[in-house]
Amino acid sequence: MISKAAIVLFIGLVGMAYQATQLPPPNHNESLLDQNYVEVSTRIKLNDGRYLAYRETGVTKDKAKHSIIVVHGFGSSKDMNFPASQDGCPVRPASDTALGHMLAGYGQSDPNPKRSLKSEAHDIEELADQLHIGSKFHVIGVSMGSYATWSCLNYIPNRLAGVAMIAPTINYEWPSLPKSLVKDDYRKRLVKVAIWLAKYFPKLLHWWVSQKWLPSNSVIEKNPAFFNKRDIEILERIPGFPMLTKDNLRHKVVFDTLRGDWMIAFGNWEFDPIKLSNPFPHSNKSSVHIWQGYEDKVVPSQIQRFISEKLPWIQYHEVVDGGHLIVHYSGLGEAILKALLLGEEDISYKPRSSKSVS
């Protein structure tokens, strides 16, 4: 029997992954089908007949020096704002164009019955081709959306100019993660339970997450077990979890989309990220970056450090007092873009030395 406490923690982890990319709530429920929309998203038609929604920001493509595809996180959308002020960052929005796109099944992007890590990478590639943003482009993945950036590194490395992952989700089933590093991590057990329920008992899981006795989002948002001090301060000024309310989760289309995202992120991957080769072997600077909060309670910084140590071609950046919501921290957006596009490192985000985990 799965305890009530375990279920509460699971819902909390779902909420945290979602909150990392949450926006002010729209006037309509983005998680429902097209007929429920007030506005119509710009979309492309993919080769398999599906439609993929996206939003373009910044300068026009013909004037842009850089093209960036931003992959939203769990429960978010193409309208996720990447915080980088015009005055504070010389590369945004004056000289780059950013394309936020919706993953399969989100909003007005059609579901993909054959959705996989590989299909998400090829959706990104096809979006770039149809919008003619060039033979190479940058990809930024936020929180759970980083599984798509890992997939791009594996399946379409020749199309990438650079990659940034912000508080990227870890799949505990990656073969190269040492047991000594994750054996006592309670998150591993919760994810395993959640995957088991989502795979074999989706109706039961759907019933559970919409029950009145589960904690409200407001309780989760203030819980120090999920968020550090800076995260909680951020939550005071940004919205909560509208897509994860019990009313919205009762909609099967919402639940199925979130379940599908979760299954890909934490299911069996077709490759081991820690075994990937450097996609930029001839570059003098790192073109792949991980940004992590040292106090992140969703994804342990120790695991991110281990990954960056095993893959020395990844530049690891750490926010000393940062939690999972670092994408919202003032000044971080500018630092991420300067590192990704210009190769400029802010020494304040240089990680403190630590003993490698073997």
Percent of the chain with pLDDT over 90: 31
Cβ pair 181, 303 in contact under 8 A: yes
Number of CB atoms found within 10 A of residue 183's CB? 8
pLDDT band at 283 (very low <50, low <70, confident <90, very high): confident
Cβ pair 312, 306 in contact under 8 A: no
pLDDT tops 80 at residue 281: yes
pLDDT tops 70 at residue 185: yes
Query: Coil, strand or helix: which one is 178?
Result: coil
Residue 58 DSSP symbol? E
Taking each helix axis from N to C end, the angle separating 252-266 and 186-200, rounded to the nearest 10 degrees, works out to 130
Domain positions in the chain are 4-349
Write out pLDDT tens, residues 288-316: 999 999 999 888 999 999 999 999 999 99
Distance CA 7, CA 74 (A): 18
Distance CA 107, CA 125 (A): 20
Tokens representing 205 are: 């899981």
Residue 68 DSSP symbol? E
pLDDT band at 25 (very low <50, low <70, confident <90, very high): very low
Q: CB within 8 A of 344, min separation 6: which ones?
A: 338
Q: Which CATH number fits domain 4-349: 3.40.50.1820, 3.10.105.10, 3.40.50.150, 3.30.70.640?
A: 3.40.50.1820
Cβ pair 283, 308 in contact under 8 A: no
Cβ pair 15, 162 in contact under 8 A: no
